[in-house]
Chains A and B, each alone.
Chain A
Amino acid sequence: TQLLEQSPQFLSIQEGENLTVYCNSSSVFSSLQWYRQEPGEGPVLLVTVVTGGEVKKLKRLTFQFGDARKDSSLHITAAQPGDTGLYLCAGALDSNSGYALNFGKGTSLLVTP
């Protein structure tokens, strides 16, 4: 069962454009994490959000955790070709589940010059 629905699944944009990736669920998460994954490599953690309504910024990337801790978004401003990759959201339910992560299917982003 996929707890997290991520959209869009694929995104192809021109350099300089803005984009937003969404991650939605009916479950409440104790924390939500965003990862970026390159082909043949493991996911690399970008950010962890834990408080409802929290907003975190990482250079041109802005992450938001929904007030109810059920959804999140990733916004990239002025995308660059180096942003190309697979973006994954993952939610941890609670300590009872050992904080095992439930992943979305990912958003494959292609930024062309």
Chain B
Amino acid sequence: DTGVSQDPRHKITKRGQNVTFRCDPISEHNRLYWYRQTLGQGPEFLTYFQNEAQLEKSRLLSDRFSAERPKGSFSTLEIQRTEQGDSAMYLCASSLETGLGYTFGSGTRLTVV
């Protein structure tokens, strides 16, 4: 296993466009998390899945943000009608159910122009 993979690494989009990011977790990990990190800040928790169930989504930043994990394996994070304030690094992490073994991906850097 090569760890947590995120795709793309970089995305530049025009304001108002929709974007989708993909995360492939470590295969043995049944928990998958999404975080957002802006410049000069630590990562900010957005949502998490246990297998295919999304157990926490109240921290998603707005109703323009949504995430899926349809078969309990990879996950996608979609941002609709992007705004310049959405520019950030979007990080995915996976862990065991105990919360240990947290591993982050390299992130997707989004720039909204």
Chain A interface residues toward B at CB < 8 A: 4, 6, 30-31, 33, 35, 40-45, 48, 88, 90, 92, 95, 97-106
Q: Are B41 and A31 in contact (CB under 8 A)?
A: no
Q: Are B91 and A103 in contact (CB under 8 A)?
A: no
The total of Cβ contacts below 8 Å across the A-B interface reads 68
Q: Are A102 and B104 in contact (CB under 8 A)?
A: no
* B25 part of interface (Cβ distance < 8 Å): no
Q: How many angstroms from the CA of A97 to the CA of B95 in the assembled complex? A: 14
Q: Are A98 and B48 in contact (CB under 8 A)?
A: yes
Q: How many angstroms from the CA of A14 to the CA of B85 in the assembled complex? A: 37
Q: Within residues 78 to 113 of chain B, which ones have a CB less than 8 A from any CB in chain A?
A: 91, 93, 95, 98-100, 102-107, 109
Task: Kindly identify which residue among B45, B48, B56 contacts A102, using a CB–CB cutoff of 8 Å.
Answer: B45
A92-B99, A99-B31, A99-B95 known; A43+B40 contact, CB < 8 A: no
A30-B99, A31-B99, A97-B56 known; A41+B31 contact, CB < 8 A: no
A100-B45, A102-B45, A105-B42 known; A42+B91 contact, CB < 8 A: yes
29 cross-chain CB contacts under 8 A:
A6-B42, A40-B106, A40-B109, A42-B4, A42-B6, A42-B91, A42-B93, A42-B104, A42-B106, A43-B91, A43-B104, A44-B104, A45-B102, A45-B103, A45-B104, A48-B102, A88-B42, A98-B31, A100-B59, A101-B33, A101-B35, A101-B45, A101-B93, A102-B45, A103-B42, A103-B44, A105-B40, A105-B41, A105-B42
Task: Kindly identify which residue among A4, A35, A99, A106 contacts B99, using a CB–CB cutoff of 8 Å.
Answer: A99
Which residues of chain B are near A100, meaning CB under 8 Å? 33, 45, 48, 56, 59
| Smallest CB separation, A60 vs chain B (Å) | 23
Q: A43-B104, A99-B98, A103-B42 known; 8 other A-B pairs, CB under 8 Å?
A: A42-B104, A98-B31, A98-B33, A98-B50, A100-B56, A101-B45, A103-B43, A103-B44
